[in-house]
Amino acid sequence: MTVPNLARLLLRSARAHPRLPAVALGGRVLHDYAGLASRVERLAGALVRRLGLAPGGRVALVMKNSPAYVELLFACWHAGLAAVPINAKLHPKELAFIFEDTGARVCFASADLSEGVAAAGADLAFLIDPDTAQYAGLLAADPLPVAECSERDIAWLFYTSGTTGRPKGVMLTHRNLLAMTLNYFSDVDRIAAGDAIVHAAPMSHGSGLYLLPHVAAGACSVIPDSGGFDAAEALELMGAFRGATMFAAPTMVKRLAAQAERCGAPEGLKTIVYGGGPMYVEDLRRAMAVFGCRLAQIYGQGESPMTISALSKALHADTGHPRHEARLASVGLPVTGVEVRIAGDRDQALAEGEVGEVLVRGDSVMAGYLNDPEASAETLRGGWLHTGDLGSLDEEGFLTLKDRSKDVIISGGSNIYPREVEEVLLAHPGVLEAAVIGARDPEWGESVMAFVVTRAGAQVTEADLDALCLARIARFKRPKRYRFLAQLPKNETGKVLKTELRKRL
């Protein structure tokens, strides 16, 4: 089946709204829609004719948020290539795995991240800094006609943190991301031509995905001068542009609310869409007191990007409903066209109110994991995405998450899998056992807490373990706290009882 290439969303807006602002850096508009489309067509031509990429080729992006991020994503799709946006915080060893797994020969990297890419030792044909004359030269290439796409063509390879230390490449097709785009309009928020989105959250993740509905509607992508998140800067930008939206992790919402309490909510703010981690009701109420009815929640994961359920602004505002607080504690209703069911340990459907694994089915669900057919078959068995999250559905269809069966820790909107950290700690010769859990953190939502049992006679310090983690994994994944124990609590089969460890906190 032929499906529309995502790049056609940009071409459509360029024809309908050629003079509307498309990309801004800080408060300065850099390109209108006609200009952005022209740059993308030429950049796509350079990717194919100068850099030698064939249809389906992979382009790695190890970059901070920048105007070039917008251009490169759409240029990849325009040329029929797969974009591989990579978490800029990853360790060179983690980068090396992704380069090898994807076979990427071309990487665009911000200047301050190029050293980490080089340290990965990848077999790259081209490593290009978007702020150099080399990149500017690519924009002088002849324009390329937009490629045709099938429903199986990969648009975005999204790498999850690996539960066994090996990340998985989620294959997101043009069909998947088109479904996500349409779900934004039907279930999350409306976007008018001339509105804006402030990309203060990483464009390698949710903010980059939300580029699609905003481009489709003719909205402006605003990149902070800092290239990242600063609460004061983000609020200032939301005040400078009409109809401004921002995607934010719950920890970012807390910081925005605290800043807005001091300086006021910007008039231009239309919507803050939050997700990517647990939002505690007390924190949500504080944000609503500052921003009013401008918050919407989404629940998704890399395997069904930003698209499982949503709690709209209207539902946030419905304070007179008798179950309003329970709704605020939920992740909303399944989005249009996506089925959600709660299943038991044999995948059997459970009744309303019962807790089980959240299963998902719909056009937004990934095609599978790259180069991992066994994991794909297991995760997608029976035609349902097995999320690994535990939850329940109430009589009105609202989904409430109870726990994460995979024990993923979500710190500042980034996923951290305990076993990945545990394996690094166990590499220390003085460590006998290690167990990692998430501890509630007032700033980051959760932080990494490690319980460690040392070998008899071994002298192991927190500094030793910190150094080991910094040498093996990304800085944000290392434990923030350690506790040394004589033994870990276990059940009769020898499984570590992490519920008991949580109680000790």
Q: How far is CA 96 from the centre of its chain?
A: 20
* Contact present, 5 and 147 (Cβ < 8 Å): yes
305 vs 404: which has the higher pLDDT:
305
391 and 430 assigned to the same domain: no
Whether residue 492 is predicted with pLDDT greater than 50 in this model: the reply is: no
439: in domain: yes
Mean pLDDT over 378-392 rounds to: 95
CA neighbor of 16 nearest in space, from 34, 31, 39: 34
pLDDT computed for residue 377 by the predictor: 98
**What pairs with residue 131 in β-bridges?**
none
**What pTM, to 2 d.p., does this model score?**
0.86
Q: How far is CA 469 from the centre of its chain?
A: 23
* Contact present, 99 and 107 (Cβ < 8 Å): yes
421 and 390 assigned to the same domain: no
Min mean pLDDT across 52-56, 354-358, 390-394, 496-500 is at 496-500
413 and 492 assigned to the same domain: yes
402 and 414 assigned to the same domain: no
461: in domain: yes
465 and 398 assigned to the same domain: no
466: in domain: yes
Q: Which of 357, 373, 406 is the last residue of a domain?
A: 406
pLDDT in tens, 315-350: 999 999 999 999 999 999 999 999 999 999 899 999
Residue owning tokens 């071994």? 458
Say what percent of the chain tops pLDDT 70.
97
DSSP 353: T
395 and 475 assigned to the same domain: no
414 and 492 assigned to the same domain: yes
* CATH code at position 339: 2.30.38.10
CA distances from 73 to 83, 212, 298, 364 (A): 6, 10, 23, 19
369 and 448 assigned to the same domain: no
277: in domain: no
8: in domain: no
420 and 393 assigned to the same domain: no
**What pairs with residue 158 in β-bridges?**
170
359: in domain: yes
Mean pLDDT over 466-488 rounds to: 93
* Structural domain range at position 443: 409-504
What gap in Å lies between CA 288 and CA 313, rounded to an integer?
A: 10
Per-residue confidence at 56, pLDDT binned at 50, 70, 90? very high
391 and 450 assigned to the same domain: no
Tokens representing 71?
A: 């251009």
* Contact present, 360 and 339 (Cβ < 8 Å): yes
What total number of domains does the chain contain? 2
Whether residue 206 is predicted with pLDDT greater than 80 in this model: the reply is: yes
Whether residue 272 is predicted with pLDDT greater than 90 in this model: the reply is: yes
pLDDT in tens, 403-429: 666 677 888 888 787 877 988 998 899
Helix (H) or strand (E) holding 149: strand 149-150
Mean pLDDT over 121-140 rounds to: 94
The mean pLDDT of the chain is 93
166 vs 265: which has the higher pLDDT:
265
* Contact present, 391 and 402 (Cβ < 8 Å): yes
Tokens representing 374?
A: 């066994």
Q: Which of 406, 425, 448 is the last residue of a domain?
A: 406
- Helix 33-49, helix 7-16: angle, nearest 10: 150
476: in domain: yes
Strands 414-416, 409-411: pairing kind: antiparallel
Whether residue 496 is predicted with pLDDT greater than 50 in this model: the reply is: yes
Strands 154-159, 295-301: pairing kind: unpaired
Whether residue 176 is predicted with pLDDT greater than 90 in this model: the reply is: yes
384 and 416 assigned to the same domain: no
498 vs 229: which has the higher pLDDT:
229
Burial class (CB in 10 A: 0-12, 13-18, 19+), 140: exposed
178: in domain: no
* CATH code at position 457: 3.30.300.30
Q: Which of 406, 427, 448 is the last residue of a domain?
A: 406
Tokens representing 199?
A: 């990309």
